Copies of this chain bind each other. A is one copy, B any other.
Amino acid sequence: MTQTTARVPQEERSRAMRARLLEACVELLVERGFAGTTTTLVSERAGVSRGAQLHHFPSKNDLVFAAVEHVTNVRGDELAAAASRLPGGTRRTRAVLEMLADHFTSPVFTAALELWVAARTDADLLAEVAPLEQRVGRDTHRLTVELLGADESLPGVRELVQATLDLVRGLGLASTITDDTRRRMRILDRWAEILEEQLA
């Protein structure tokens, strides 16, 4: 009994420490980019000793990958929750697009972009990142199909959903260095009209 109670707080502390490291890492990716995210800065910001950090994440790549995977999962849950609050009727398509665009302009997208670009020229990192990106891509596609009520057995519908996701990804990339919310809103208005026409 004593053993069990001693072990549980230890496990909890370890989990909490891991979570703090991941959150600190994502914040630094957004603020300073991949190159500026050093393991020293992460351990300082998380208030975790270097030894404890190395126990959880032996290398910077391990830490950055786990951090992006973690926020991607959290964000996936948030997307699913936001999806359940979407309106029905005529405003629905536009609301789905705004939800997706919010996702692709969020700090999670920015952190993922930093990881993604770093992985492009780092084969070890790419071997981890590519399967994560594929899984996330499939999940986001499936969610979008469901939210739009799109019937992918009809010709051209699958490509329309893919184009929608590539469009919001392009909008997300554009927003990383120029704030163009107004432009984005007008484009989403227009795309919502077309999507409704095409899916009707």
Q: Could you list which residues of chain A lie within 8 angstroms of chain B, going by C-beta atoms?
A: 31-36, 110, 113-114, 116-122, 126, 129-130, 133-134, 156, 159-160, 162-163, 165-174, 176-178, 183, 186-187, 189-191, 193-194, 198
Cβ contacts under 8 Å, A117 to chain B? 33, 113-114, 117, 176
Copies of this protein in the complex: 2
**CA A35 to CA B121, docked complex, whole Å:** 10
Q: Across the interface, do A183 and B162 meet the contact criterion of CB distance under 8 Å?
A: yes
6 further contact pairs, Cβ within 8 A, besides A159-B189, A170-B173: A33-B118, A33-B120, A110-B120, A119-B177, A133-B177, A166-B170
Given that A117-B114, A163-B191, A183-B162 are known contacts, is A169 also in contact with B174, CB under 8 Å in the complex?
yes
Please, how many angstroms separate the alpha-carbon atoms of A171 and B174 in the complex?
13
- Say whether A177 contacts B33, CB under 8 Å: no
**A32 to B121 Cα, complex, angstroms:** 5
Q: Which residues of B contact A178 (CB under 8 A)?
A: 130, 133-134
Q: A113-B117, A167-B166, A167-B167 are in contact. Are A159 and B177 (CB under 8 A)?
A: no
- Knowing A33-B118, A113-B117, A198-B194 are in contact, say whether A166-B174 is a contact too (CB < 8 A): yes
Contact check: which of B110, B134, B168, B177 meets A170 at CB < 8 Å?
B168
**Contacts A120-B176, A178-B130, A183-B162 given; does A190 touch B156 at CB 8 Å:** yes
What separation, in Å, do the CA atoms of A66 and B183 have in the docked complex?
28
A198, B195: Cα distance in complex, Å: 12
